[in-house]
Homo-oligomer: A and B are copies of this chain.
C-alpha cells in the first residue's frame, strides 16, 4: 500500500491531539530525530509528535491508519540496528514524555513504568528499595526502557539473570489500528491464550507502541567480586569461558574484550573523564575476561572466585587482577562500558551482534579474524561471552567507500553464514532493524519469514507501523 504524504491538514489534526508544544516541524529540530547510534544513517521524518498519554497515541494511530501514513516509534535513540529511524518518512512518535515510574510494588516484587523512563533511572529507583532490575545495556544512562523491551536488550548481567524479556510480565500497547490492550496479566505464570507479551518483546516497534510495562523484580544481591583475567589469545579466552560454566559456576557477568579495544578505550576514557587509567594491560596478553560473581555471602563468593581461578590456570593466562576496591571495580566497568563509544570515536564502524552456543565461540572468533583478512577489514571484538553473544565492530579506517559498501558487506555476510553454521543467529540483543535486514534469509527459512509477515499483517493490516524493519 502506498504511503500518503503528511499534509498540512493532517498536521493540524496532530496538533489538536498532542498540543502545539508537542509537535516538531522545524527541520533543524526534526533532524535530531533522524538518526540513532547506528553507523551514519539519517532519515528525516516529516513531523515529530510527543504524545503524553496512550489515548493520544491511539488517536494518532487511528488517523495514520486511516490515511496510510508511516509511524515510527522512538525511545532514547541509542539503537544499534536503526530500529527507530523513519526510513519511509512520515511521523516519528517520540516517547520522551512517557517518563514516569508509576509504582514499585515491594510486596509483589513488581514495578509499573512508562516506556520513556531512562533505564538507569529505573535501576536506581528500584535499588533504593533494596530491589534489583538486572538488565543493564551499556547505554543505560540515556536509553529508554521501552526501547530495551522493543529490542530485547541484554547487557552483562544477562548471563546469570536473563534479558529484558525475562522481566516483562505485562504490557499496555496501542495497536496500529488504535486499540489499547494489555497483553497479559501481572502474574508470574500465565498459560491463558497466546503469549502476546513475549511476542511484543523484541518486535522492534513493528507490532504496537508500548505505553506501560509491568516488570518483575528480584532481591538485590548484597555483594560482588570482580576479576580481570588476561589470556594470551582470543581462542584461549573463549575456551576458558566454557570451562568456567562446566565447573558449575554461574558468574553475574562474563565480559570479553580484545587488547586493541582496551587500548582505544583507555585513551578515550582518559580524555573524557580526565583521569589516568591505572589497570595494567600486559603487552603479550591479547584477550581479557571480566568475570563478576555476586551473592549475599562472602565465603561462597570467595569459594566461587577460587574455582574460577583454578579453572583458568589451565590456560595461557597472565596475572589475574582481583578488584577489591569500589574504585577499581568502577574503572574496570568504565572500560567495558566505553568500548563501543571509544571504537566509534576512532573510526566509523559496522556493529554486529552475533550469538552462538557458548562452546562454539573459539571457532567463531578465529573465523571472524580470517574473514577480516580475506575481505580486507580489521575488527574489534567484545561482548557478553558468557551468553555466547559477541559484538564485532568492523572498522572502516582507511577503507574506501566502494569497498566499504560492497566487499566489507560481503565479508559481514560471511560472518553471519559462519555464525549460523555454528548454530547461532544474527542478533543477540541489538535487533535486526534496517542494518541486519538484508541478512535475515541467512538466519531463517522463507516459511519463518512468511509466518512473521503474516503476524505483522494481523497487527498492522496497512503496514504503517515502523515500516521497512526486520523483513
A213–B155 Cα distance when bound, in Å, is 27
- Cross-chain contact A194 with B447 (CB below 8 angstroms): no
- Cross-chain contact A193 with B448 (CB below 8 angstroms): yes
Chain B residues lying within 8 Å of A182, measured Cβ to Cβ, are 444-445, 448
- Smallest CB separation, A224 vs chain B (Å): 16
- Smallest CB separation, A325 vs chain B (Å): 26
Chain B residues lying within 8 Å of A202, measured Cβ to Cβ, are 190-191, 194-195
Does A321 touch B at the CB level, under 8 Å? no
Does A399 touch B at the CB level, under 8 Å? no
Q: Which of A87-112 contact B (CB under 8 A)?
A: 105-110
Chain B residues lying within 8 Å of A159, measured Cβ to Cβ, are 188
A166–B198 Cα distance when bound, in Å, is 11
- Cross-chain contact A245 with B187 (CB below 8 angstroms): no
Does A27 touch B at the CB level, under 8 Å? no
Say whether, besides A242-B107, A458-B455, A355 and B388 are in contact (CB < 8 Å): no
- Cross-chain contact A451 with B459 (CB below 8 angstroms): yes
- Cross-chain contact A245 with B194 (CB below 8 angstroms): no
- Cross-chain contact B196 with A448 (CB below 8 angstroms): yes
Question: What mask results when residues 103 to 141 of chain A are scored 1 for a CB within 8 Å of chain B, else 0?
Answer: 001111110000000000000000000100000000000
- Cross-chain contact B108 with A359 (CB below 8 angstroms): yes
Does A440 touch B at the CB level, under 8 Å? yes
A110–B192 Cα distance when bound, in Å, is 28
Does A328 touch B at the CB level, under 8 Å? no
- Kindly report which residue of chain B lies nearest to residue A430, judged by CB atoms: B191
- Cross-chain contact B428 with A191 (CB below 8 angstroms): yes
A269–B454 Cα distance when bound, in Å, is 51
- Cross-chain contact A451 with B458 (CB below 8 angstroms): yes
For this chain, the copies found in one complex come to 2
Chain B residues lying within 8 Å of A454, measured Cβ to Cβ, are 458-459
Chain B residues lying within 8 Å of A338, measured Cβ to Cβ, are none
- Smallest CB separation, A458 vs chain B (Å): 3
Chain B residues lying within 8 Å of A355, measured Cβ to Cβ, are 185, 187-190
Does A248 touch B at the CB level, under 8 Å? yes
- Cross-chain contact B166 with A443 (CB below 8 angstroms): no
Chain B residues lying within 8 Å of A436, measured Cβ to Cβ, are 192
Chain B residues lying within 8 Å of A471, measured Cβ to Cβ, are 193
Question: What mask results when residues 177 to 209 of chain A are scored 1 for a CB within 8 Å of chain B, else 0?
Answer: 001011111111111111110110111000100
Does A424 touch B at the CB level, under 8 Å? yes
Say whether, besides A179-B447, A300-B297, A423-B186, A199 and B194 are in contact (CB < 8 Å): yes
Question: What mask results when residues 356 to 383 of chain A are scored 1 for a CB within 8 Å of chain B, else 0?
Answer: 1111100000000000000000000000
Q: Which of A204-260 contact B (CB under 8 A)?
A: 207, 219, 242, 245-246, 248, 250
Does A163 touch B at the CB level, under 8 Å? yes
Q: Which of A424-471 contact B (CB under 8 A)?
A: 424-432, 436, 440, 443-445, 447-449, 451-452, 454-455, 457-459, 470-471
Question: What mask results when residues 21 to 35 of chain A are scored 1 for a CB within 8 Å of chain B, else 0?
Answer: 000000000000000
Which residue of B245, B299, B447 contacts A175 across the interface (Cβ within 8 Å)?
B447
Does A152 touch B at the CB level, under 8 Å? yes
Chain B residues lying within 8 Å of A193, measured Cβ to Cβ, are 432, 440, 443-444, 448-449, 452, 470-471
Does A36 touch B at the CB level, under 8 Å? no
Some 5 contacts from A to B, beta carbons below 8 A apart, are: A110-B357, A187-B423, A189-B384, A191-B429, A191-B431
Please report A residues at the B interface, Cβ cutoff 8 Å. 105-110, 130, 151-152, 154, 158-159, 163, 165-166, 175, 179, 181-196, 198-199, 201-203, 207, 219, 242, 245-246, 248, 250, 296-297, 299-300, 353, 355-360, 384, 387-389, 420, 423-432, 436, 440, 443-445, 447-449, 451-452, 454-455, 457-459, 470-471
